[in-house]
Copies of this chain bind each other. A is one copy, B any other.
C-alpha cells in the first residue's frame, strides 16, 4: 500500500507554481496538479502547465470553469493589460495605490475551493499554492492573512476537517522574493524554460506587464538569464 502523502498542486504554467510543484515533490508528496481553464486571455499558460506536470511525471487535470462576468483585463480582451506601474528599487517593489485591472475577483478563492473539494475527494493531506506576497501584483487574495482565514474556513467546511484530518493549505513561496524563488527552483531543477508568466498572449513575453517585470527582476537579482526568453 502506498503510504506517501498526497498533495493537490495548483499549477498555472508560471514560474511560482512550477517551483511549488517541484518543492512538493521534494517534500515527498505524491502530487496531483489542477490546471484551470477559466477563460483567461490566452491558452499558452494552460499548455505550458500541462508540459510542466508531464516533465515532473505528475498527474494533472484541467478544470474548465466559466466566469460569466468580466471586470478584469485577464478575462476581457476589450480591457487592455496595463503596462506595469511598479516603481522598482534595488530590492523592493513599490505598489501603485490601486489594485490593477489584471485582478480577477476572488480567483484564488475559487481555485482553492476546487482544490479543497478535489483534496477531500482523493483524501489528500495538503494543497499547495504558489502565492507570493512580496514580489507580486498587490492582489488582496495573495496576502498572508487571507490564507490564514482560508485555512480556518477549510477546516470547518469539510468532512475531513470534522473528522480531524485537516487539509493543510501550503504557501511555500509566500515570503520569498522572486530571486529567492528562482534560486530555490534551480536547486530543484525546475524547467523554467517551460514556464510562462506574461499576462498577455503571443509567441514571446511582452516584457512590459507586471508579471514580466517581476520575472525579469527575479532573474536579474538571481544573477542569471531567463531560459524562457530567447530574444
Contact = CB atoms under 8 A, between A and B. Distances in A.
A103 B141 contact: no
A113 B150 CA distance: 11
Given A146-B153, A153-B146, A156-B149, A162 B99 contact: yes
A109 B99 contact: no
Q: Which of A110, A112, A150, A153 has most B Cβ within 10 Å?
A: A153
Nearest to A66: B64
A140 B161 contact: yes
Given A63-B66, A68-B63, A117 B107 contact: yes
Contact of A113 (B66, B109, B140): B109
How many copies make up the complex? 2
A139 B159 CA distance: 8
A70 B65 CA distance: 17
Interface string A43-61: 0000000000000000001
A153 B153 contact: yes
Contact of A114 (B110, B118, B152): B110
Contact of A157 (B65, B67, B106, B121): B106
B159 A105 contact: yes
Given A113-B110, A140-B158, A152-B152, A120 B105 contact: yes
Q: Which of A61, A114, A120, A122 has most B Cβ within 10 Å?
A: A114
A105 B110 contact: no
20 contacts: A67-B117, A105-B118, A105-B120, A105-B121, A106-B113, A106-B114, A106-B116, A106-B120, A109-B113, A109-B154, A110-B114, A110-B117, A113-B113, A140-B158, A140-B159, A140-B162, A146-B153, A149-B152, A149-B156, A150-B157
